[in-house]
Amino acid sequence: MRTRFRDRRHSLLSLLRTRLLTDAYWLMAFRMFLSVPSFPGARYTARRLANLYLGRLEVWRGRTRLRSRPIKLNVEATNICNLECPACFTGVGENGRARSHMSLELYRKLLDELGPYLFQVELHNWGEPLLARHLVPMIEEAHRAGIQTTLSTNFSFPFTAERAEAIVRAGLDVFGVSIDGARQETYEQYRRGGKLDTVLANCRLMRDAKRRLGSATPLLIWEFHVFSHNTDDIERARALAADLEMGIAVVKGWVAGPEWDVERRFGYFADSSPFPCSYLWHHAIVNNDGGVAPCCGTFYREDDMGRVATATGEEGNPTFREVWNSDRFQTARRFFNERSGSAADHEHICFECPTTKLWERYRAHVAAGGTFHTFSGAHSANDTFNYFWNRRPTGSEARRRRV
């Protein structure tokens, strides 16, 4: 088994080396290798930087068993939500796993083990973080450990000046607010059940709390997801955001089914380029129940790579590291060396993932003499979303309450 992995790794290495000086891709890859990512608010310790480069080296070498730890962590502070957004697993009432709040015990365990390596903790995955029971101490503890903290909220629920101050005081760095429209009738088409007036009033509370406490953080960002029904609201949203002292990010929203903006007038947050999946080497996702997902696209418990247990005798592993190097994670990383395997491997969520397949096509292209610049075939964020949206793990009894 080990020899097979080594052979595959060597074939990837030789492929990389043959292109090294002849392909502009490698100059770009080298620059990317050395670049230091920007996480305002994080402490750039020697340990974090050493781990960052070790992780990149391990990607480069096609390693499946890692000595590096993730540099980013998403925790699902809670998977409960108050809205019914139609292209969100939570919004359509999917029963991928039981609804709960992440315990502080689990969170602290993760911070103890991974905190020295992390640049960023994001406090949501598929739920509404501001409904989480332990949100404020979670922010405080990560902030104290010198980790950048961020979250995204729908902000459409009762909120108070005191809570706003508590979040500012806790040291949150980035506070994203999902507001997909500048008028109630457009906003509520995607944010079903949401009240725009409430959201804007809450944003004012955050702005005012920052002013009162003389704090430059958190950075307030209006996240405007563009759909066919709200394109006329963009300019009005920009003006409102400026008034609320918020930055604004206008990015295309994904939809179930084909791309809605065929002329590509709007851009997604990121479309795919051929690279090994960053989630598998650098970016971990831990759900409210301790389940470790391969990436943020997955939703079902059955697709977890393992589980971090907090008590003896509980299902799962006592450390995150054991899950990070579990058979399922190693199999997923191996697909980036060679996309093959047993029938069970073919059921693995990463096997048919657009990112895995793109990398396989890219390698074949380079092996046939092509270059990064002559390669075409990247997929859009909408394709990736639909892969996850339409997929059900074998044996899952998943069903949606709303469609």
Ligand X SMILES: C[S@@+](CC[C@H](N)C(=O)[O-])C[C@H]1O[C@@H](n2cnc3c(N)ncnc32)[C@H](O)[C@@H]1O
Contacts with ligand SF4 by CB under 6 A lie at 81, 83, 85, 88, 90-91, 126-128, 154
Binding flag, residue 153, ligand X (CB under 6 A): yes
Among ligand SF4, ligand X, none, partner that 253 touches (CB below 5 to 8 angstroms by kind) = ligand X
Contact residue for ligand X among 58, 128, 141, 289 (CB under 6 A): 128
Residue 151 C-beta: closest distance to ligand SF4, Å: 11
Number of shown-chain residues binding ligand X (CB under 6 A)? 16
Binding flag, residue 72, ligand X (CB under 6 A): no
Judging by DSSP bridges, how do beta strands 291-293 and 306-307 pair with one another?
A: antiparallel
Q: Which residue's structure tokens are 């405007």? A: 224
Q: Which stretch binds ligand X (CB under 6 A): 67-75, 108-116, 122-130, 307-315?
A: 122-130
Amino acid at 256: A
Residue 70 C-beta: closest distance to ligand SF4, Å: 23
Residue 153 C-beta: closest distance to ligand X, Å: 5
Say whether 72 sits in a helix, a strand or coil: strand
Residues 243-282 that bind ligand X (CB under 6 A): 253-254
Residue 126 C-beta: closest distance to ligand X, Å: 5
Binding flag, residue 168, ligand X (CB under 6 A): no
Q: How far apart are CA 194 and CA 110, in angstroms?
A: 33
State the CB neighbour count (10 A cutoff) for residue 338. 17
125 is written with which tokens? Answer: 């995955």
Residue 396 C-beta: closest distance to ligand SF4, Å: 20
Q: How far apart are CA 77 and CA 199, in angstroms?
A: 21
CA–CA–CA angle 129, 322, 4 (5° rounding): 125
Contact residue for ligand X among 94, 165, 223, 303 (CB under 6 A): 223
Q: How far apart are CA 328 and CA 291, in angstroms?
A: 13
What count of Cα atoms within 13 Å lies in the side-chain half-sphere of residue 36?
11
Among ligand X, ligand SF4, none, partner that 92 touches (CB below 5 to 8 angstroms by kind) = none
Q: Between 29 and 296, whose beta carbon lies closer to ligand X?
A: 296
Residue 91 C-beta: closest distance to ligand SF4, Å: 3
Q: Between 15 and 131, whose beta carbon lies closer to ligand X?
A: 131
Q: Which stretch binds ligand X (CB under 6 A): 34-42, 149-157, 163-171, 392-400?
A: 149-157
What is each CA distance from 236 to 160, 195, 198, 206, 239, in whole angstroms?
A: 26, 17, 17, 20, 5
Q: How far apart are CA 353 and CA 361, in angstroms?
A: 12
- Write the DSSP symbol of residue 308: B
Residue 196 C-beta: closest distance to ligand X, Å: 14
Binding flag, residue 92, ligand X (CB under 6 A): no
Q: Between 55 and 194, whose beta carbon lies closer to ligand X?
A: 194
292 is written with which tokens? Answer: 């470790």
- Please say whether the beta carbons of 57 and 82 come within 8 A: no
- Please say whether the beta carbons of 367 and 321 come within 8 A: no
- Please say whether the beta carbons of 293 and 381 come within 8 A: no
Contact residue for ligand X among 64, 152, 355, 384 (CB under 6 A): 152
Rg for the chain, CA atoms, rounded: 21
Q: What's CA 3's distance to the chain center, in Å?
A: 33
289 is written with which tokens? Answer: 């129940």
Amino acid at 296: C
Amino acid at 248: I
Among ligand SF4, ligand X, none, partner that 23 touches (CB below 5 to 8 angstroms by kind) = none
Among ligand SF4, ligand X, none, partner that 62 touches (CB below 5 to 8 angstroms by kind) = none
Among ligand X, ligand SF4, none, partner that 147 touches (CB below 5 to 8 angstroms by kind) = none
What is each CA distance from 193 to 13, 89, 156, 217, 335, in whole angstroms?
A: 52, 16, 9, 29, 41
Residue 178 C-beta: closest distance to ligand X, Å: 3
Residue 178 C-beta: closest distance to ligand SF4, Å: 6
Contact residue for ligand X among 42, 71, 75, 85 (CB under 6 A): 85
Q: Between 52 and 177, whose beta carbon lies closer to ligand SF4?
A: 177
Binding flag, residue 154, ligand X (CB under 6 A): yes
- Please say whether the beta carbons of 25 and 291 come within 8 A: no
Sign of the CA dihedral with 297 first, then 392, 79, and 153 last: positive
Among ligand X, ligand SF4, none, partner that 289 touches (CB below 5 to 8 angstroms by kind) = none
* Interface residues toward ligand X, by CB under 6 A: 81, 85, 87-88, 124, 126, 128, 152-154, 176, 178, 223, 225, 253-254
